[in-house]
């Protein structure tokens, strides 16, 4: 009787063991992919930081963005600010997205998404 039970239980145990091993390998592969993605992302951040050391792009974009802010405190300039934003509002949607992409690329995607509360 004990021999019959062990003949039934042994194959079931082997199937369960194979299933558990498969799940473990899938989990390990997922962790490995996540580690590689994080490593790539960290390396990309270093590359971007190194490339931007000799670039004026970020400073230029910061100046451009600051112009309406500075003009807002100058009497009589509010008309020019309002007109400028009205013109930008009339621009094609693709252009506005393109401007957003330029800023996100310059200041970093993570910073842009953090600014808008997305991640």
The model's pLDDT over 22-52, given as tens digits with 9 standing for 90+, comes to: 888 888 888 888 877 777 776 766 666 676 6
Rounded Cα distance between 61 and 34, Å, is 33
Please give the residue that has the higher pLDDT: either 113 or 11: 11
The answer to whether 48 touches 108, Cβ cutoff 8 Å, is yes
The domain of 3 spans 1-54
Q: Do 66 and 42 belong to one domain?
A: no
Q: Is the pLDDT of residue 118 over 60?
A: no
0.75 cut: is pTM over it? Answer: no
Which of 54, 69, 85 is where one domain is finished? 54
Q: Which pLDDT score is estimated for 58?
A: 78
- What domain count does the chain have? 2
Q: Do 67 and 45 belong to one domain?
A: no
Q: What is the largest CA-CA distance in the chain?
A: 100
Q: Do 13 and 46 belong to one domain?
A: yes
Q: Which pLDDT score is estimated for 84?
A: 92
Q: Do 41 and 63 belong to one domain?
A: no
Residues of the chain with pLDDT > 70, as a percent, come to 74
């Amino acid at each position: 009787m004990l021999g019959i039970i062990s003949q039934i239980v042994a194959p079931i145990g082997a199937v369960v063991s194979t299933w558990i091993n498969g799940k473990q390998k899938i989990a390990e592969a997922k962790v490995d992919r996540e580690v590689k993605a994080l490593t790539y992302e960290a390396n990309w951040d270093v590359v971007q930081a190194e490339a931007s050391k000799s670039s004026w792009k970020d400073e230029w974009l910061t100046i451009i963005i600051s112009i309406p802010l500075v003009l807002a405190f100058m009497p009589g300039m509010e008309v020019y600010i309002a007109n400028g934003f009205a013109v930008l509002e009339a621009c094609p949607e693709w252009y506005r997205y393109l401007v957003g992409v330029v800023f996100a690329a310059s200041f970093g995607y993570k910073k842009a998404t953090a600014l808008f509360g997305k991640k």
